[in-house]
Amino acid sequence: MATELAVETERNLIGGQWVPAASGKTFENRSPADGNDLVGVFPESDRRDVDAAVAAAKKAFPAWRDMPAPRRGEILYAAGEILKRDKEKLARLMTREMGKVLAETRGDVQEAIDMAFLAAGEGRRLFGFTTPSELSNKFAMCIRQPVGVCAFVTPWNFPMAIPAWKGMAALIAGNTVVIKPATDTPASVVALARVFEEAGLPAGAWNVVMGSGGAVGDPLVSHPDVKVVSFTGSTEVGRRISVACAPTFKRVHLEMGGKNAILVMDDADVELAVEGALWGAFGTTGQRCTASSRLLVQRKVYDGFVMKLVEGAKALRVGNGLEAGVDVGPCVSERQRESVAKYIEIGKQEGAKLLCGGEKLSAGDLSRGWFLSPAVFADADAKMRIACEEIFGPVTTVVPIDSLDEGIRIANSVPYGLSGSIYTQDVNKAFKAMREFETGLFYVNSSTIGAEVHLPFGGMKDTGNGHREAGIAGLDVFTEWKSIYVDFSGKLQRAQIDTYESAD
Ligand code: NAP
Ligand code: MG
């Protein structure tokens, strides 16, 4: 199991060339499930590599922008087909480098496929609009235009899906890209770059620079030739990026943390709610921005829900995600596991009841990875830190509630606003919750996770800064609207002035 593929020494992709970092330095990436499994060796880049990549993206921009969008779409269709062909191989690589189980890494690659086909189809749409002018013999229309060089800074939890959400939308609109992947998951982004290469994407349209947030991310987002920054990651880093981008007024798209609540009402199908809560809380080892980390349960069904939830959490098999039958992989790194373990201690000190899990697992092969058993805290108070702060690990917190109004108030009481859900059989409750949750995503009788690529994705409050990705809304981040007026009257016509004079 340890080394399925030969260890690759990877390079940055700059202007169509695979080149080592200017520093000549490299860093290792090992599997979080097995420290003996060296996934690859990657360039440790800095500002010099960033400058070269941005210059390459800038040089490639005019030709890519001027290529007819349907032709750009054909390249993305080809990329989607290659991703389909290589889905299993890519999923296995991703499980090795990131840890989540194969079923989920297949889903991650599938999201990239879906996004490729969605964006490719946009090549024959990219709709603008026409509208009547207020003056005679004058034509008015609005078109989308690409913005220029885009910088992506991406996290490790969706190593291919998130770069693909951003990338497919930016490319179909005619932009060029420099991406800095998370240090924990560079291999999946290198693999995506190879897919684009094989699909026939011109040199310089997609550039990859690997290295740390400070040495690569920082100079990349503040580079004056970068016109759009699209970031997914923590609220803390997002805030820093927002500040770094302000002096040049560049467009900044931020997708950040979450603390998502499921409401379970007295009339809910409890079995279904438990199933959804388990999947939402422990899928991806809880390392999802949309994880169901708060379970707000009405009193009548509370005890039964908690009992079944704990039963289900204990039954989850923790292990190497490459193995059949494993439900929950490791935390992505030692640092991440330490951070989650700290929250387990905080929860105990705050007085919530730890009903299961929260232990570092080290029996047998598990000693080689960063495993933690799925933890359920119950009888928690909504104001406790474990019920308000993003933990980003296999931990969920159950809080009893008396009413729908109380549930909605608690759900909205955190600074984040990404996803939410309600389990109820009552359509009136469902619609009230749908309207009142301060979140960009909402689910009825389903967990807080499960977004599809043709709907906008993103959050409110400290989760986002008003943009969305995926769907058609995702194009707004990567295009400028241009309003165009064509006057074919042969005379000077003054808007607002002649409009009314000629009517008299
Ligand atoms: P993170 O620490 O904020 O890192 C995200 C990315 O930012 C990484 O590529 C990181 O590089 C880079 N970075 C770090 N410091 C930087 C700096 N000073 N300047 C520029 N870039 C910098 O987040 P993470 O731990 O990877 O991911 C977990 C977080 O992402 C969670 O908060 C989660 O909720 C959020 N997330 C949100 C969404 C969403 O759509 N809302 C989706 C997935 C994840 P290094 O890897 O080198 O540190
Ligand atoms: Mg690693």
> Higher pLDDT residue, 503 or 485?
485
- Provide the mean pLDDT of the chain: 96
Cβ-based neighbour number of residue 145 at 10 Å: 15
Structure-token pair, residue 5: 């593929």
Protein residues with CB under 6 Å of any ligand 1 atom? 153-158, 180, 182-184, 212-214, 217-218, 221, 232-234, 237, 240-241, 255-258, 289, 390, 392, 418, 459, 463
- In 128-141, which positions are buried (b, 16+ CB within 10 angstroms) versus exposed (e)? eeeeebebeeeebe
Please report, in angstroms and rounded to a whole number, the separation of the first and last CA atoms in the chain: 84
- Residue 234 CA to ligand 1 centre (angstroms): 5
Q: What is the reported pLDDT for 73?
A: 98
- Classify residue 468 by burial, with Cβ atoms within 10 Å: 0-12, 13-18, 19+: buried
Average confidence (pLDDT) over 351-368: 97
Q: How far is CA 183 from CA 27, 175, 465, in A?
A: 9, 25, 24
Q: Which of 28, 50, 157 to mutate to test the pocket of ligand 1 (most atoms within 8 A of CB)?
A: 157
Distance CA 433, CA 454 (A): 23
Per DSSP, helices labelled H in 284-426 are 299-315, 334-350, 404-411
Q: How does residue 499 score in pLDDT terms, banded at 50, 70 and 90?
A: confident
Q: Which residues contact 380 (CB under 8 A, 6 or more apart)?
A: 347, 350, 352, 353, 386, 387, 397, 398, 399
- In 63-86, which positions are buried (b, 16+ CB within 10 angstroms) versus exposed (e)? ebbebebeebbebbbbbbbbbeeb
Question: Catalytic: 289?
Answer: yes
Share of the chain above pLDDT 70, in %: 98
| CA-proximal residue: ligand 1, atom 46 (nearest) | 182
- Residue 29 CA to ligand 1 centre (angstroms): 17
Domains observed in the chain: 39-256+464-483 (3.40.605.10), 261-444 (3.40.309.10)
Smallest CA-to-CA distance from 99 within 39, 44, 152 is with 39
Q: Residue 32 gets which letter from DSSP?
A: T
Q: What is the reported pLDDT for 8?
A: 79
| CA-proximal residue: ligand 1, atom 23 (nearest) | 233
Q: pTM to 2 decimals?
A: 0.96
Q: What is the reported pLDDT for 7?
A: 72
What are the pLDDT digits (tens) for 437-466? Answer: 999 999 999 999 999 999 999 999 999 999
What are the pLDDT digits (tens) for 395-448? Answer: 999 999 999 999 999 999 999 999 999 999 999 999 999 999 999 999 999 999
The DSSP result for 43-91, as a single string, is E---HHHHHHHHHHHHHHHHHHHHS-HHHHHHHHHHHHHHHHHTHHHHH
- pLDDT for 2 beyond 50: no
Say what angle helices 270-282 and 299-315 make with each other, to 10 degrees: 50
Q: How does residue 502 score in pLDDT terms, banded at 50, 70 and 90?
A: low
Pairing outcome for strands 226-232 and 251-255: parallel
Question: Catalytic: 255?
Answer: yes
Smallest CA-to-CA distance from 357 within 391, 323, 388 is with 391
Comparing 3-7, 139-143, 157-161, 203-207, the range with the smallest average pLDDT is 3-7
Cβ-based neighbour number of residue 338 at 10 Å: 12
Share of the chain above pLDDT 90, in %: 96
What are the pLDDT digits (tens) for 85-115? Answer: 999 999 999 999 999 999 999 999 999 999 9
Average confidence (pLDDT) over 205-212: 98
Beta bridge partners of 400: 297
Per DSSP, helices labelled H in 316-454 are 334-350, 404-411, 427-436
Distance CA 222, CA 51 (A): 11
Q: What is the reported pLDDT for 500?
A: 80
> Which residue in the list 104, 255, 390, 469 is annotated as catalytic?
255
Residue type, 238: G
Cβ-based neighbour number of residue 275 at 10 Å: 16
- Residue 270 CA to ligand 1 centre (angstroms): 35
Q: How does residue 25 score in pLDDT terms, banded at 50, 70 and 90?
A: very high
> Which residue in the list 10, 44, 111, 289 is annotated as catalytic?
289
Q: Which ligand lies nearest the alpha carbon of 166? A: 1
- Residue 1 CA to ligand 2 centre (angstroms): 16
What are the pLDDT digits (tens) for 172-201? Answer: 999 999 999 999 999 999 999 999 999 999
Q: Which of 97, 232, 460 to mutate to test the pocket of ligand 1 (most atoms within 8 A of CB)?
A: 232
Q: What is the reported pLDDT for 198?
A: 98
Q: What is the reported pLDDT for 3?
A: 45
The CA radius of gyration of the chain, in Å to the nearest whole number, is 24
Structure-token pair, residue 233: 């990651």
Are 65 and 33 in contact by the 8 Å Cβ rule? The answer is no
Distance CA 6, CA 82 (A): 21
> Higher pLDDT residue, 2 or 22?
22
Average confidence (pLDDT) over 5-32: 93
- Residue 182 CA to ligand 1 centre (angstroms): 7
- Residue 54 CA to ligand 2 centre (angstroms): 27
Ligand 1, residue 257: give the atom nearest the CA. Answer: 34
- pLDDT for 369 beyond 60: yes
- pLDDT for 76 beyond 80: yes
Ligand 1, residue 237: give the atom nearest the CA. Answer: 3
